[in-house]
Structure 1
Amino acid sequence: MQVKVQSFAGANAADIELSDEVFGLDPRADILHRVVTWQLEKRRATARGTRERSDVARSGKKLGRQKGGGVARHGDRRAPVFIGGGKAHGARVRDFNPSLNKKVRALGLKMALSSHAKAGSLIVLDGFEVAKTKELQGHFAGLSTGKRTLVIDGVAGDSFLAARNLKGVDMLPAVGANVYDIIKADTLVLTRAAVEQLEARFNG
């Protein structure tokens, strides 16, 4: 698949040949759904488990006699009503770490990239060296990007700092490319360096 390489200067560079094994697949909704669900589940943080009645190290001896004391009947000092006792109905540790085959995760990322290539919302840039936010904003206006744009570069440089305050623009290094952010974006912008790294990631 051949794609025109654009630049912020306005001139079109030589076309780039994209690998059909990475950018030419037919997206499958079931694969993308599995990978996005796995990714969002991995983000969830579990609560810190509290010590309940059975976890507290205190005496299990009965405090007093069952009847005649004029007070409530208690079996031991682990009860939640006592200071130092176990927590009643405390937070439990839950497992939000589902597993997903590496091949399925790699296939989902390829399909996410292919979905933008097939929809015509993929832009390949010759380079991405901009240090000023205002200058970068003007460049994006010239590219006619969508409401939400994701830019993937080879490494995180000064341009990442310049894009922090741009509304609707997210920046990622190639190593951080993921299905959820790619699918969420209206326009995907890749640099030459990002294309080379992504293709090497799947071919290596």
Structure 2
Amino acid sequence: MKVKVQSFDAKAKPSDVELNDEVFGVEPRADILHRVVTWQLEKRRATARPTRERADVARTGKKFGKQKGGGTARHGNRRGPTFIGGGKAHGARLRDFNPSLNKKVRVMGLKMALSAKAQAGTLIVMDSLSVAEGKTKSLVASLATMGWGKTALVIDGTSVEQSFRHASGNIHGVNVLPAIGANVYDILKHDTLVLTRAGLEQLEARFNG
């Protein structure tokens, strides 16, 4: 599959880039994408801290007063939630959100997410992300003519180009990632996926390696 390479430089010569069909030509499957996205979101959740209920508190179980005539309630032990230091009633339970997913499925899901964008025509390849003087105004003017949609995920090479990072910092809907951070959830969440040549090469090398 060939994709036209775009550039912020109006004087740049037009060119095309050939996408690897093993990465960008995979038929997307909703079940695989759903499994990977669910796994990603569950991995974000922190372990819930448990509280000690009355069975977990080490306090005396001796009846501390007479059944009658003491003028107080007839408590059987000090572990009850009504006492300071007692167990909590209906406290939070330990829940560990640490799901696992086969690496082969995760790789397949990322390929399918990339392929879905390529097949839908919402994949853009940029020659470079360099923005004149790192100005937001210059970048906004360029984006108005490039059809990036309301939200765009920009994936660069080893690190995101500094001038683009500065210029896009105040633009709502434009998010940036290095190639190592590419993931299914962010790719599917945005209207448009934008890859630089460096980011494209690293993604393809990531799967081929």
Are the counterparts in 2 of residues 22 and 199 from structure 1 also a CA contact under 8 Å?
A: yes
Separation in structure 2 between the aligned mates of residue 56 and residue 135 of structure 1, nearest angstrom = 64
Give, in angstroms, the shift of residue 67 of structure 1: 3.1
Query: Structure 1 residues 60 and 146, CA, compared in 2 at 3 Å: closer, same or farther?
Result: same
- Is 1:138–2:150 an aligned residue pair? no
Q: Secondary structure at the match of 2:109?
A: helix
Partner of 1:165: 170
Q: TM-score, normalised by structure 2?
A: 0.91
Q: Deviations over 1:8-46 (max 9, x none)?
A: 113344322211111111111111111111111222234
Q: Secondary structure at the match of 2:144?
A: helix
Q: Secondary structure at the match of 1:142?
A: coil
Q: Which of 189, 192, 198 in structure 2 is aligned with 1:193?
A: 198
Q: Deviations over 1:85-136 (max 9, x none)?
A: 1111111121322211111011000000001111111110011122222222
Are the counterparts in 2 of residues 5 and 12 from structure 1 also a CA contact under 8 Å?
A: no
Q: TM-score, normalised by structure 1?
A: 0.93
Root mean square deviation of aligned Cα: 1.5
Separation in structure 2 between the aligned mates of residue 41 and residue 57 of structure 1, nearest angstrom = 34
Partner of 1:124: 125
Q: Which segments of 5 or more consecutive residues in structure 1 lack a partner in the other structure?
A: none
Query: Structure 1 residues 32 and 63, CA, compared in 2 at 3 Å: closer, same or farther?
Result: same
Separation in structure 2 between the aligned mates of residue 176 and residue 161 of structure 1, nearest angstrom = 19
Query: Structure 1 residues 5 and 12, CA, compared in 2 at 3 Å: closer, same or farther?
Result: farther
Q: Pick which of 46-55 and 144-153 moved more.
A: 46-55
Q: Which segments of 5 or more consecutive residues in structure 2 lack a partner in the other structure?
A: none
Partner of 2:106: 105
Q: Which runs of 4+ in 1 moved over 4 A?
A: none
Listed as ranges, the matches of 1:69-88 within 5 Å are 69-88=70-89
